[in-house]
């Protein structure tokens, strides 16, 4: 009988169904526990259900994993997933980890993990997809890839060595900002900061805008001053103002001084208003057009990729000049 094998990176994002074919959610991670003399055992899946809540589904309730879908018994505990001691999340913690091959041929980084179903119906970690260090001096070169069984590698346990988060960031590249924010907040504390440091400024800024303010402050405070200022530059001015408003005034001024002058001026203007007032919620960068602009021109502006959806919802028609806060409003 052939072994059923599934690579976790491909499993992430797959739809989870109940026996009747109703959609329950999407797979976000696989949870394993380590064993002393055997490959890690799969204990369950982290599934995102409606409401962006991440819950745990025991592997015993999974009846089938195939063709981009997961079939379960339909019984799901909707309590938010909390990682227990001894549990390891494959996507969040194993991918990007450096290992040494026991044959002495060198080291490699885990890029994917295959889980396999044995004759007893249990799922274990099987093959690892590894990338070796690059041998070319070219900045665009990549190392060779290879497969290895779990028993053919040994994890490096160098004290204080940070695990690479690059592979995990690549896995999250297709997530929408709100989904990315929820996924980040479900990561272990240390891993969350590692991934935040690897994300681009724009990507992290988009995710922060979807988080509660206390979580925004916590993550921002873990970043260096220069990086924190870059993130604030990339955020919408009203969101940046709300975030800075949660910081001590001295810290807020310090970050404003490090921001781009034009961006800092917009944020300073919004900080003059209370967070729950109309002034505190306004944007200094609305879409402004003249009265003789065509519908095609308006559509071209609101379809810009970098434009926040909330800004694209309104187009303001004014008399010249067209720079805020000048110009007489004719309509929206």
Residue 230 in any domain: the answer is yes
- Residues 259 and 198 placed together within one structural domain of the fold: yes
**pLDDT by residue, tens only, the chain of 332 residues:** 456 889 998 898 899 999 888 999 999 999 999 887 889 999 999 999 988 889 999 998 899 887 688 999 888 888 888 887 778 899 888 888 889 999 988 899 999 999 998 888 889 999 999 999 887 777 777 888 999 999 999 887 543 344 566 767 777 777 888 888 988 888 888 888 888 988 888 889 999 999 998 999 999 999 989 999 999 998 988 889 889 988 888 899 999 999 988 888 888 888 887 766 666 666 767 788 888 888 888 888 777 756 667 677 788 888 787 777 677 777 77
The kind and range of the H/E element at 220 are helix 213-222
Nearest C-alpha neighbor of 240 from the set 203, 274, 278, 213: 213
- What is the spatial distance between Cα 321 and Cα 301, in angstroms, rounded to a whole number? 18
- Residues 30 and 59 placed together within one structural domain of the fold: yes
- Residues 10 and 68 placed together within one structural domain of the fold: yes
Nearest C-alpha neighbor of 56 from the set 14, 20, 28, 36: 28
Q: DSSP characters for 199-213?
A: S-HHHHHHHHTTS-H
Residue 81 in any domain: the answer is yes
Residues 6+ apart with CB under 8 A from 92: 29, 168, 186, 187, 188, 191
Report the pLDDT value the prediction gives residue 161, as an integer from 0 to 100.
Answer: 43
What is the pTM for the complete model shown?
0.60
- Residues 268 and 196 placed together within one structural domain of the fold: yes
Q: Residue 78 is part of which domain span?
A: 4-89
* Cβ contact 8:112 at 8 Å: yes
Number of helices followed by number of strands (H, E) in the chain: 13, 16
Asked if the peptide bond before residue 302 counts as cis, ω within 30 degrees of 0, the response is no
- Residues 264 and 292 placed together within one structural domain of the fold: no
- Residues 101 and 151 placed together within one structural domain of the fold: yes
User: Domain holding 76: CATH number?
Assistant: 2.30.30.240
User: Domain holding 184: CATH number?
Assistant: 1.25.60.10
Residue 61 structure tokens: 């309730």
Residue 74 in any domain: the answer is yes
- What is the spatial distance between Cα 93 and Cα 190, in angstroms, rounded to a whole number? 10
- Residues 138 and 242 placed together within one structural domain of the fold: no
CA distances from 266 to 230, 236, 288 (A): 15, 10, 17
- Residues 47 and 81 placed together within one structural domain of the fold: yes
136: β partners: none
- Residues 317 and 227 placed together within one structural domain of the fold: no
The residue from 41, 64, 89 where one domain ends is 89
129: β partners: 112, 147
User: Domain holding 99: CATH number?
Assistant: 2.40.10
Residue 38 in any domain: the answer is yes
100: β partners: 107, 154
Q: Mind listing the pLDDT tens digit for each residue in 230-285?
A: 999 989 888 898 899 888 888 999 999 999 888 888 888 888 877 666 666 667 67
- What is the spatial distance between Cα 317 and Cα 326, in angstroms, rounded to a whole number? 12
Report the pLDDT value the prediction gives residue 146, as an integer from 0 to 100.
Answer: 92
Domain count, the chain: 4
- Residues 171 and 261 placed together within one structural domain of the fold: yes
Asked if the peptide bond before residue 325 counts as cis, ω within 30 degrees of 0, the response is yes
Report the pLDDT value the prediction gives residue 149, as an integer from 0 to 100.
Answer: 93
- Residues 241 and 144 placed together within one structural domain of the fold: no
**Phi then psi for 322, rounded to 5 degrees?**
-105, 5
Q: Mind listing the pLDDT tens digit for each residue in 40-74?
A: 999 999 999 988 889 999 998 899 887 688 999 88
Residue 213 in any domain: the answer is yes
Give the strand order in the sheet containing 329-331.
287-289, 315-318, 329-331
- What number of residues does the chain have? 332
User: Cα 240 to the chain's mean position, in Å?
Assistant: 19
The residue from 74, 89, 104 where one domain ends is 89
If you search the block for the tokens 């060595």, which residue do you land on?
A: 161
- Residues 183 and 134 placed together within one structural domain of the fold: no
- What is the spatial distance between Cα 253 and Cα 103, in angstroms, rounded to a whole number? 56
Residue 139 in any domain: the answer is yes
Residues 6+ apart with CB under 8 A from 271: 241, 244, 245, 252
Residue 160 in any domain: the answer is no
């Amino acid at each position: 009988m052939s072994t059923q094998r599934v690579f976790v990176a491909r499993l992430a994002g797959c739809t989870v169904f109940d026996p009747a074919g109703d959609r329950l959610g999407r797979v976000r991670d696989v949870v394993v526990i380590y064993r002393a003399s055997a490959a890690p055992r799969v204990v369950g899946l982290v599934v995102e259900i409606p409401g962006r809540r991440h819950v745990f589904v025991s592997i015993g309730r999974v009846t089938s994993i195939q063709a981009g879908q997961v079939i379960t018994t339909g019984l799901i505990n909707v309590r938010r997933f909390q990682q227990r001691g001894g549990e390891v999340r494959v996507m969040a913690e194993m991918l990007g980890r450096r290992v040494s091959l026991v044959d002495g041929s060198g080291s490699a980084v885990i890029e994917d993990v295959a889980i396999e179903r044995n004759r007893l119906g249990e799922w274990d970690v099987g093959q690892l997809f590894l990338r070796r260090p690059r041998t070319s001096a070219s900045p665009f070169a990549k190392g060779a890839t290879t497969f290895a069984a779990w028993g053919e590698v040994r994890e490096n346990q160098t004290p204080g060595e940070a695990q690479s988060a690059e592979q995990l960031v690549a896995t999250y590249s297709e997530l929408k900002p709100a989904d990315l924010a929820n996924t980040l907040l479900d990561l272990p504390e240390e891993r969350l900061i590692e991934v935040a440091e690897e994300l681009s400024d724009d990507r992290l800024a988009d995710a922060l805008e979807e988080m509660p303010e206390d979580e925004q402050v916590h993550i921002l405070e873990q970043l260096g001053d220069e990086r924190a200022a870059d993130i604030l530059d990339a955020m919408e001015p009203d969101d940046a103002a709300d975030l800075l408003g949660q910081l001590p005034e001295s810290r807020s001024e310090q970050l404003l001084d490090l921001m781009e002058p034009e961006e800092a001026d917009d944020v300073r203007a919004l900080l003059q208003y209370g967070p729950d007032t109309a002034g505190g919620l306004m944007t200094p960068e609305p879409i402004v057009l003249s009265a003789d602009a065509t519908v095609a021109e308006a559509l071209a502006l609101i379809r810009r990729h970098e434009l926040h959806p909330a800004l694209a919802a309104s187009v303001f028609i004014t008399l010249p000049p067209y720079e805020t806060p000048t110009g007489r409003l004719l309509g929206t």
